[in-house]
Every structure is written in structure tokens, then in C-alpha cells.
Amino acid sequence: MTVDSYLPAGMPAPVPSGDDLDLAYWEGTRRGELLVQRCDGCGTWQWGPEWLCHRCQSFDMQWQQIAGNGLIYSWERPWHPVHPALRGMGPYTVVLVEMPLAGKIRMLGNLLGPADQEVVIGAAVEAVFEPHDDADIPYTLVQWRLTN
Amino acid sequence: MSRRSIRGKVAVAGIGETTYYKHGKSPDAEFALALQAILRACEDAGIKPREVDGFASYSNDRSDPSRIAAALGIPDLRFSNMQWGGGGGGVAAAVANGAAAVAAGYADCVVVFRALAQGQFRRFGEAMPDPQVSGDAAYMAPYGVMSPAQKYGMRATRFMHDHGVDHSVLRAIAMASYQHAQSNPRAVMYGRPLDAETYDTSRWIVEPINRLFDCCQENDGAAALILVSAERARDLRQTPAYLLGAAQGSDHRCGAPVMNASNFGSSSFATVAPRLYEMAGVSPGDIDVVQSYENFTTGVMMAVVEHGFCAPAEANEFFTLENLTAPAGRMPLNTSGGNLAECYMHGLGLQLEAVRQIRGQSCNQVPNVKLAMNIAGPMVTPVSSLIMGSEETLS
């Protein structure tokens, strides 16, 4: 499921890190797949990406596709625009989402919907994909919407 | 092996600061501000500038110690130190690092300084309009999470949710700083009091935690303090403020990318504060006055709680204007006006204020201060904090 851009054009565009640590994640989102790290040695889920497992120090980190079902762990609604692209648009909502089916790792994105909607910690959300095909280096963001 | 500790070995002998300006209003270059603050600290201590032989700072201060040493004509530069980490988490650690150098014999007279002219360089509260971002920023900036208020708001929201903390707590912290600033002529907000209605009706910077007055200022200026051995400090002109303990760091995976710290709803002091008290040999109830770095009032609240001054569930009763104001409050807080209302000197102004409280020289003096705490840069990593004491705390 893909959606239109939540924030205005001109926001900073994500690119994979120069050492390719997170290349698989960004390639996955282009295909509409949510990939995160899981240790091949001990099964620990890990986010954000790192070269080794924080639990067992194994370097055998795999990329595993997960279902985009999570719970709102924290949230905020910036009103003051700190980037030129945000000036004049008003408040927007950001959620930190805990993934219960993937070791409770947390992922971040915007909560789609009206800017004045009530946000409840613990509410169920699901990932949707926001493609930016016209960017210099095309990318896709993962966004969140309340689960019906 | 005896217990290793900095306790009682090093003292602050001098403090100095420039005029504090609103951002962009300094008539002097940032490097000149640094030199002015250092010279004033030397004068305060009664130390010749050429006796200084070491420098410590934090947050990638732009004023290079070798250039300072050349500018001041220092004959033998013996110690230069930069504390890792951005933000204000390194303030107390910079003092601790300088003190460690004195205690170890690397240097005899170390200046801890910070100079900022946000008008001449990038402002902290404004995002760089980089067209492309990678690493941790790639998971935040495209969603509009760029400034410190936005990066740390998530931690504060979660803490307040977990513990049922009211916004009245944040208002009390802001109003205490502004009230103290009204008797501090150095303060940028001197003559500009803050009442509850103005606070309550101020605009959101980041809902539901940061209104305008919950956020630090952005300023131009510089501050410096001078560390010497305890023995030498006793022969100088000012009452020594002895370092009793210091700690820095953060707990399990605090710096994990994309906000995956294990203890997320936290100011990062969970393991740091116990180490501080253990080294200093005191308890929260012994502390007479607290200077706690305000990046945001939420950070102050969380850091004070994590230093054991009240339980999280007691925060709504503990953080009142009456409790937080000098001279008679239960825990006088940020008695110079701090980063909110004196000057955002990246927290070093708060260190100078702790020294004034030990000396009995504050504009908002708490009676008979023996122990002063300083907490630096809540919510970042690494964070740091320290305890200073008067002569009688050494016995």
C-alpha cells in the first residue's frame, strides 16, 4: 500500500550510508517491504542497523522482512518549523512505533491523518509506503496509520 | 587498592564570563569572547594568564587551545582535552577531565571554557537544509525530526506518560529560572519576568512537551573557570569550590540508532547519578542547591528525578515554584536564571553559578551552601554531573 507525501516537497532525502550498512533497508522499502536486522547467531532483533549483534557480538546480521504492525510507543507534534520546506505548513505528527513481533524494536515515522488528531500511546498502527520516485535518488519512506 | 576518587583534590579558583548577548548580537568575534572570559577568570583567581597550562572543553568548541595558548603567550601548554558528544552533556565532564589532569599531574592550572557566537555560525535550533541525509538522520530528518527539541521530545513524552507528570512541573521550572534572572544583572532576561499566564499561552514548539518558555535561549558569549590543586586554591584570593565527585556516561545502548535506547523514557542519568553520589560520599538530601542544564524543562525534570531528589510519582508535588526558588525553597534550582533566562552558555554558566553559591556570591544566594550539584545536558549521551563542596565538606 502506497500513499502520497505527508510532508511538503523539499524535505531532506534519505540515502543509504556510504558504507552500505543500511542499503538493504532502503532497497526493501522501494519494493514495499519492511526489512530489519536479525542476528543469525542468537536471533536477536536489532534496529537501527549496526554491523554486529548487540547481544552476542556476532557479525552475522541478516535482513528479515517483518509485518508492519506496531504500537505507538511515543509521539510528538512539532509546530515550530526548523526547515525551510516546513515553513507555513503548520503542525505535523511524528510517532515512535514499537514492533511487538520483532523484539520490540522501535521505528519512526509520521502518523498519517489530521494534524490535530488525538494520539494515544499504545494504539495499534500499521506501516504504509510513501514513494518519492522523482527524487534525484528515488527513495521510499515508511509511514504509519492507525489500524482499523 | 584504595578507592580512587577526585574528592577534595582539585578546586575551582576562578570564574569569568563575557557580557551575555542574544544570538547574533555580540560585537566581538567568538574567539575574542573566549579570550575575554579566560582573562576574567584569571583575574578573578589572581592567576597570571601565562600560568595557565591546560584547557578542557566540550561539544567541539571552535576555539582551539593551541591558538588560545599562542594568543595568550603561554610558554608551556601541557594539556588539551575535548569531551566527546554534542550538546551540553559534556559540561560537567569537561570540568572533571580538567580536574583529573590536575590531580594526575599532567597540568597545574587548567581552564575549562566554552565560547559560542551562534550569530556568527549555525544556530542550534535551526536545521541545516541538507538536500540528502544518511545514517541516523536518514530515519529522522525526512519525517521532520531535526532540531534538539524534536529529537529529545520523544523521550520526554514517554517519561511523562509513564509517570503521569503534569505540565505544571515544566511551568514551575521555567518560572523559577525567570524569577532568579530578575535579580541577576548579567541575565539576558533581566527585567523581563515571566508570569504563569504568559507561559501557559506561549506557542508550542513541540507538542505535548515544549512550549516556547520550556526551551533554552540561543546566545552569544563565553564563560571560563580555572582549576588548580586544592592546596594551591587555598592560597589564592577566592574561596575555593572543591570538586567532591564527578561522573559521566549513559546506560545500556543509550546511543542506539533510531531512538532504540533500552531505557528510553530517561534523561540518561540512570547509571551516572549513583556513581556521582558514591564518589562524592553524599546523598541527594545533603545537596543545598542544584544547577541543572536546561536544554528543555523536561530534561531538567527528568534529570532531577534521576538524581534522586524525588520519586517520579512525586514530581507533580515536588516541582513547584516555591520549592525551586532561592533562598528558602526545598531545592533551589538554577539560581542564576540558567540557560533559560541568564544565558545559554551551553551550561558553563551553570557551573559558574555553582561556584558562586559555594563562595556566597550569588545574586540569589542560598544561605550557608556547603554542597552544590551541577547536572549537564540531560537526554543526550554521554551526560555528566558533578558535586562541588565548601572547605568544611572535606573533613
A16 chain-B contacts, CB cut-off 8 A: 134, 138
Degrees to nearest 5, angle at CA B50 with B231 and B349: 70
What is the C-alpha separation between B36 and B39, in angstroms, rounded?
Answer: 5
Rounded to the nearest integer, the mean pLDDT of chain A is 96
Q: With CA atoms as reference, report the closest residue to A82 among B194, B205, B191.
A: B205
Query: Among all residues of B, which ones are annotated catalytic?
Result: 293, 344
Name the residue in chain B with its Cα closest to that of A144: B143
Which domain range does residue A142 map to? Answer: 23-146
- pLDDT per position as a tens digit, A69-89: 999 999 999 999 999 999 999
The domain of B270 spans 10-121+215-394
Residue B274 falls inside a structural domain: yes
Q: Rounded to an integer, what distance in angstroms lies between the CA atom of residue B178 and that of residue B191? A: 9
Residue A57, chain B, CB below 8 Å: the answer is no
Q: Assess if residue A72 is contained within a domain.
A: yes
A14 in a structural domain: no
- pLDDT score, position B1: 47
- With respect to residue A1, please indicate whether it lies within any of the assigned structural domains: no
Q: Would B5 be classed as within a structural domain?
A: no
Do the domain assignments include residue A12? no
Do A109 and B138 make contact, defined as CB atoms within 8 angstroms? no
Considering the domain boundaries, does residue A31 fall inside one? yes
CA distance B150 to chain A (A): 7
Q: Which residues contact A77 (CB under 8 A, 6 or more apart)?
A: A91, A92, A93, A94, A115, A119, B204, B206, B207, B208
Judge: B125–A50 Cβ closer than 8 Å, yes or no. Answer: no
Mutate: best of B139, B140, B143, partner A, most A CBs <10 A: B143
Q: How many residues are present in chain A?
A: 148
- Determine the distance in angstroms separating the CA of A78 from the nearest CA of chain B, rounded to an integer: 4
Q: Count of domains in chain A? A: 1
What DSSP string describes B45-73?
A: HT--GGG--EEEEETT-SS-HHHHHHHHT
**Residues written for chain B:** 395
Identity of the amino acid at B280:
A
Supply the pLDDT for residue B123. 72
Cis peptide before B208 (omega within 30 of 0): yes
DSSP strand pairing (A35-39 vs B132-133):
unpaired
CATH number of the domain to which B102 belongs: 3.40.47.10
In a domain, A5, yes or no: no
| pTM (two decimals) | 0.96
- Structure-block grid coordinates of residue B132: 540528502
Tens digits of per-residue pLDDT, A6-18?
999 999 999 999 9
In angstroms, rounded to a whole number, what is the distance separating the alpha carbons of residues B387 and B382? 17
Dist. CA A102–CA A66, nearest whole Å: 7
User: What confidence score (pLDDT) does residue B2 get?
Assistant: 60
Cα–Cα distances in angstroms (integers) from residue B149 to residues A82, B235, B295, in the given order: 10, 45, 8
Q: What is the pLDDT of residues A90-137, one digit of tens each?
A: 999 999 999 999 999 999 999 999 999 999 999 999 999 999 999 999
Concatenated DSSP letters of B361-372: --TTPPTT--EE
Answer for the pair B20, B222: CB distance below 8 angstroms, yes or no.
no
Indicate whether A148 pLDDT > 90.
no
pLDDT of residue B206: 97
Tell me how many domains chain B contains.
1
A36, part of any domain: yes
Helix (H) or strand (E) holding A30: helix A23-30
- Asked whether residue B172 is assigned to any structural domain, the reply reads no
**Looking at the domain assignment, is residue A16 inside a domain?**
no
With beta carbons less than 8 A apart as the criterion, state whether B109 and B15 touch.
Answer: no
Q: Enumerate the β-bridge partners of residue B231.
A: none
Residues of chain B predicted below pLDDT 70: 1-2, 127-129
